Amino acid sequence: MTGEEAHRESRHRVEVLLATYNGGRYLNDQLDSILAQSYPAWRLTVRDDCSTDNTVQIIKDYIGKFPGKIRFIDEGSKRLGALGNFSRLLDASEAEYVMFSDQDDRWLPDKIGLTLRAMLECEARFTGAPILVHTDLYVTDRDLNVISKSFWNYNRLDPVEKGLNSLLTFNNVTGCTVMINSALRRLATPMPQEALVHDMWLALVASAFGHIEHVKVPTVLYRQHGENVIGTTRYPFGYFASKLANLEKTAATLRMIVAQAGAFHSAYGTRLKKADREVVHVFSTLLEKHRAARFYSVFKYRFTGSGFLRNLGIMLLWLCMGNKSIEGAKTRAAG
């Protein structure tokens, strides 16, 4: 990159949103990696979700050292959970570009600069569109020893799958790699309580109304330590072992993504293209169908993710789950 290009890029302000909760063990490492970014024009905004460890003190110590770079949203005893924490941060942002940070990873030095360059290239091609850019990650253990050089390969994820039919079913966007522009931030907020996770909601909005760009370069050391709010297990064996170990939780997650689709349809249905509106409506009513009709809809609209075994598991789970309307009628009759 020429000096002129670097100067032109540095005019763009990037806000990094960091949601914390009892993250004291790894937080210093993550904050140091953000401070070490090669791209200079960023600001970090942190909201803590009522930590009971030393997280808040660490944040305040860093603010004392870097008062112009870090802002702290202090809301006392108001606990929101992971989604609510990031949602509150997004609501408070007015930035041109927004990125999201977990509390226990380590960013590589060119993460902001590399992602911003991809964003600016997309904005040049899709003028005025809501845009989401995300990247690959290194998967590491708790000591940052690399387990896999590609999170996407480790989990058999295909970032090329960007259609609503795929993203409604399975999220292939990892929040700690994401950058969104102001057009997407304004359109996607406020996020409803039915949103499963912030990155999935943002991906759905970007897919429906704008553009999703993936960068095949890892920008994060994605630390796995057993205490992650959302971690990863190797596909296929670890992935399916975790799903089979708790089928009730897996089924509950499926119900939640159906509820999320319903909220998405309520929020954007009148603005969606006709074909997308049909896709979202069908998905949001899957549990109201009999098993045969549900299977037909899943097959017809390709409500699938990446990988044959994963899709087979999704199909079987859809077939095994009961009909919500019938179950509700039985409950009312029994009462």
User: pLDDT per residue over 61-74, tens digit each?
Assistant: 999 999 999 999 98
Helices marked H in the chain — which ranges?
Answer: 3-9, 24-35, 55-65, 81-91, 111-125, 151-154, 164-169, 182-188, 198-209, 237-245, 247-268, 274-284, 291-301, 308-320, 324-334
> Backbone dihedral region of 154: left (phi > 0), alpha (psi from -120 to 50 degrees) or beta?
alpha
User: pLDDT per residue over 231-271, tens digit each?
Assistant: 455 555 555 555 555 677 878 888 999 999 999 999 999 99
* Interior/surface letters 143-174, b for 16+ CB within 10 angstroms, e for the rest: eeeeebeebbebbbbebebbebbbbbbbbbbb
Q: How many CB atoms sit inside 10 A of residue 94's CB?
A: 10
| Better pLDDT: 240 or 95 | 95
Domain locations in the chain as residue ranges: 3-223, 237-334
Sole residue written with tokens 């609209």 = 301
Q: Provide the residue type at 20 as one letter.
A: T
User: pLDDT per residue over 142-198, tens digit each?
Assistant: 999 999 999 999 998 999 999 999 999 999 999 999 999 999 999 999 999 999 999
Judge if pTM exceeds 0.95. Answer: no
Cβ neighbourhood burial of 69 (10 Å; 0-12, 13-18, 19+)? middle
- Assign domain 3-223 to a CATH class: alpha beta
Q: How far, rounded to the nearest angstrom, does the alpha carbon of residue 287 sit from its chain's CA centroid?
A: 24
Crossing angle between the packed helical segments 198-209 and 81-91, to the nearest 10 degrees = 50
Mean pLDDT taken over the chain:
89
Cβ neighbourhood burial of 132 (10 Å; 0-12, 13-18, 19+)? buried
In 3D, which of 120, 50, 53, 116 has the Cα closest to residue 80? 50
What's the CA gap between 220 and 110, in Å, rounded? 10
Sole residue written with tokens 């074909």 = 275
| DSSP state, residue 176 | G
Q: What is the mean pLDDT of residues 297-320?
A: 81
